[in-house]
């Protein structure tokens, strides 16, 4: 029975004469005792995979037995249990998520975000079943005394998604964001330093999810121009494949809106997600695009200059005119989901013009003679760094190894600001 039905049955029970209530409790006690005897008589056999004699039994409160009798015998014409018709379905977009809860923005003009609980089915698979950016249906609940007034009942099919394996169970998928037009991979040149390996992992996930990437280089003002130009050469392989690279300088509390104008142009009219290493300044970029957001930003940890997880949950922010940004928690590694070693080369767009010219149709582009990809690498037509990344990931997929912390062997020097 649901909560509303239970409340109705309890009202019926309270309205009965005391002698009738006492008789119901006696009968319920006898029924429960008989059921417990039957369960014990079947020991040590198992029920639903558990051994009765050795495991903790599920609570079996007497009141539940009483209410079952009330439902059978005292809900006639004069004492009906109310059953409400389902309310009208409303459609909206998920703009925030917490445990068993979603914040949904209805499609109607001038609407305000609505807090909804998740249906039991969605709550059971929350990490993969629902994400910020999802289009969902929800209903208004009409249950007296219930603190929840709305419930998400259905998630629409996704157009795009950014997903990774769950850190605790690699067989499960964790969806970071959905239905986005582009993902901005935010990196910094100092504190923390530039880590192309994490970019490579994100690019594979974006290729799998059907999302266009942009690389935003933050904290450019913290490096001398000559040093900055040298550092940015690491991103030339991505530029060569047509990925936009935008240089920014957004600092918390600083009037830096003008220094994100190039990024603003790329995001015009789009829904996007900001992703990247902890501490690169994702939230600071969002604040620079719209200072009214006031998203919390943090300083780097002093002992190792790693970023703190100031953003702990993905949230969608609305930036005028017509820019929607999903700010996501920072990561130190990003696993690759649902890709086989044989398919990996399809996630490196620069290989596409060469794979069909290899001598062998099942070429792994690793050791085979007549490999057109290796020839292109030797000729400088494909970046050596990107090819090395391909080999490293190929080995990871074959051996089932875990994604490693891309900053594990590099610690930046402290800088005067130290902000994320």
Q: Which of 280, 188, 200 shows the shortest CA–CA distance to 228?
A: 188
CA distance 272 to 73: 58
Q: Are 420 and 300 in contact (CB under 8 A)?
A: yes
Q: Each residue of 39-63: pLDDT tens digit?
A: 666 555 443 444 444 444 555 688 8
Q: Each residue of 209-233: pLDDT tens digit?
A: 899 999 999 988 888 888 899 999 9
Which pLDDT belongs to residue 391?
A: 95
With bands split at pLDDT 50, 70 and 90, how would you rate the model's confidence at 7? confident
CA distance 289 to 225: 24
Q: Are 328 and 314 in contact (CB under 8 A)?
A: yes
Output the pTM of the full model: 0.71
Q: Are 295 and 336 in contact (CB under 8 A)?
A: no
Q: Which of 275, 250, 274, 231 shows the shortest CA–CA distance to 420?
A: 250
Can you tell me which residue has the tokens 């249950």? 143
DSSP single-letter state for residue 292: G
Can you tell me which residue has the tokens 């795009």? 160
- Tell me how many degrees the CA angle 72-73-79 measures, rounded to the nearest 5: 100
CA distance 321 to 308: 30
CA distance 275 to 175: 13
Q: Each residue of 320-354: pLDDT tens digit?
A: 778 999 988 866 667 777 788 999 999 998 999 99
Which pLDDT belongs to residue 56?
A: 45
User: Residue 286: is its pLDDT beyond 80?
Assistant: yes
Can you tell me which residue has the tokens 């700010």? 327
Which pLDDT belongs to residue 245?
A: 94
User: Residue 296: is its pLDDT beyond 80?
Assistant: no
Rg of the chain on CA atoms, in Å: 29
Q: Are 212 and 167 in contact (CB under 8 A)?
A: no
Q: Which helix (H) or strand (E) holds 279?
A: none
Most confidently modeled of 32-36, 69-73, 121-125, 323-327? 323-327
The rounded mean pLDDT for the chain is 80
Q: Which of 336, 306, 311, 308 shows the shortest CA–CA distance to 326?
A: 311
User: Residue 165: is its pLDDT beyond 50?
Assistant: yes
Q: Which of 236, 246, 266 shows the shortest CA–CA distance to 350?
A: 236
The arithmetic mean of pLDDT across residues 306-319, rounded, is 68
């Amino acid at each position: 029975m649901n909560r509303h039905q239970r409340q109705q049955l309890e009202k019926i029970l309270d309205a009965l004469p005391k002698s009738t209530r006492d008789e119901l409790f006696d009968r319920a006690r006898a029924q429960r005792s008989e059921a417990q005897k039957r369960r014990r008589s079947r020991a040590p056999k198992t029920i639903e995979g558990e051994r009765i004699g050795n495991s903790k039994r599920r609570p079996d409160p007497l009141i539940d037995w009483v209410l079952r009798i009330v439902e059978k015998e005292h809900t006639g014409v004069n004492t009906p249990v109310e059953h409400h018709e389902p309310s009208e379905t409303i459609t909206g977009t998920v703009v925030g998520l917490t445990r068993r809860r979603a914040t949904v923005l209805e499609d109607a003009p001038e609407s305000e975000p609505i807090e909804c609980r998740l249906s039991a089915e969605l709550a059971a698979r929350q990490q993969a079943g629902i994400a910020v950016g999802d289009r969902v249906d929800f209903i208004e609940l009409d249950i007296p005394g219930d603190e929840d007034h709305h419930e998400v009942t259905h998630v629409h099919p996704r157009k795009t998604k950014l997903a990774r394996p769950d850190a605790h169970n690699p067989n499960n998928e964790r969806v970071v964001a959905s239905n986005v037009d582009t993902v901005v991979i935010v990196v910094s040149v100092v504190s923390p330093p530039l880590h192309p390996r994490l970019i490579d992992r994100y690019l594979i996930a974006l290729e799998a999810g059907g999302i266009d990437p942009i690389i935003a280089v933050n904290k450019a003002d913290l490096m001398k121009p000559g040093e900055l130009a040298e550092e940015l050469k690491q991103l030339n392989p991505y530029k060569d494949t047509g990925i936009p690279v935008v240089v920014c300088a957004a600092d918390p509390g600083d009037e830096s809106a003008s220094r994100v104008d190039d990024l603003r142009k790329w995001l015009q009219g789009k829904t996007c997600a900001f992703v990247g290493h902890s501490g690169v300044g994702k939230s600071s970029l969002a604040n620079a695009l719209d200072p009214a957001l006031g998203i919390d930003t943090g300083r780097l940890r002093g002992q190792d200059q790693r970023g703190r997880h100031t953003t702990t949950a993905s949230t969608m922010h609305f930036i005028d005119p017509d820019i929607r940004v999903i700010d996501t928690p920072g990561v130190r590694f990003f696993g690759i989901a649902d890709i086989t070693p044989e398919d990996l080369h399809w996630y490196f767009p620069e290989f596409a013009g060469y794979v069909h010219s290899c001598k062998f149709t099942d070429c792994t582009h690793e050791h085979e003679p007549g490999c057109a990809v290796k020839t292109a690498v030797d000729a400088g037509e494909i970046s050596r760094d990107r090819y090395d990344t391909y080999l490293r990931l190929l080995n990871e997929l074959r051996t089932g190894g875990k994604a490693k912390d891309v900053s594990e062997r590099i610690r930046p020097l402290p800088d005067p600001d130290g902000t994320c």
